[in-house]
Amino acid sequence: MVLILTKKDKEKIKEFVRKSSVFIYPTDTIYGLGCDATNPRAVQKLREIKNRWDKPFSVIVPSKEWILENCYARNEDISVLPGPYTLIFKLRKKCIAQNVNLGKDTLGVRIPDHWFSQIVKDIGTPVVTTSVNVSGEKYMTSIDNINPKIRESVDFIVYEGEKKGKPSKVIDLTAGEVIRD
C-alpha cells in the first residue's frame, strides 16, 4: 500500500523528496508525477513509470532567482510566475540531471501558485513535473483514477482531493510560441 500524505506532512514530504523518491503531488493545475531533478536514477525510474523516453520533462524550480541564475531569462519573462505556466528557456549551465531534458540546451520551468512550491523552495532543488499518466493516457484528477501501474510504482502520494484543472500553458520563450494553451 502506497503512503498517502497531506499538506500537514510538509516535513515528511521534504525528507522523502531528498531521499530520491518518485511521488505524486498537487499543483495549481493538476497532479504531478515528480522526483529530484538532479538525481539521474530517480529521473530514470520516473521515465520507466511513465514509459516516456523521447520527450524532455519540465521542472518546478525553487525560485525566480533560480531561473535567472540557471536560464537565459529576464525579469519580465518570468513575471507570470507563480502561476499555471511552463516557460521554456535556454539553459546557462548544467543544473539538472541530463535525462530530465535529454541533453537539450533548453528547459521548461514552473513555479505553481500552490503551497507545494514552498516545499521545492525549502529543499532548494528542482523537482520534475509531468502529468500523472502513462504517456498517451488520460492524466490523474483524483486518487480514484490513478493508473494502477503508477500507483504501485511511486513511493508516496501527496493528496488534497479532486483536481478540476487542466495542464499548465506551455510557452517556448526560445521560439516565441505557445506550445500548449
Residue showing cell 506551455? 170
CATH at residue 140 = 3.90.870.10
Distances, alpha carbon 168 to alpha carbons 1, 14, 27, 58, 60, in Å = 30, 24, 10, 11, 12
The number of distinct structural domains making up the chain is 1
Cβ–Cβ < 8 Å for 111, 61: yes
Residues 6+ apart with CB under 8 A from 85: 110, 168, 169, 170, 171
Residue 123: predicted pLDDT: 96
Per-residue pLDDT of the chain (181 residues), as tens digits, is 899 999 999 999 999 999 989 999 999 999 999 999 999 999 999 999 999 999 999 999 999 999 999 999 999 999 999 999 999 999 999 999 999 999 999 999 999 999 999 999 999 999 999 999 998 899 999 999 999 999 999 999 999 999 999 999 999 999 988 888 8
Residue 76: predicted pLDDT: 96
Residue 13's domain comprises: 3-180
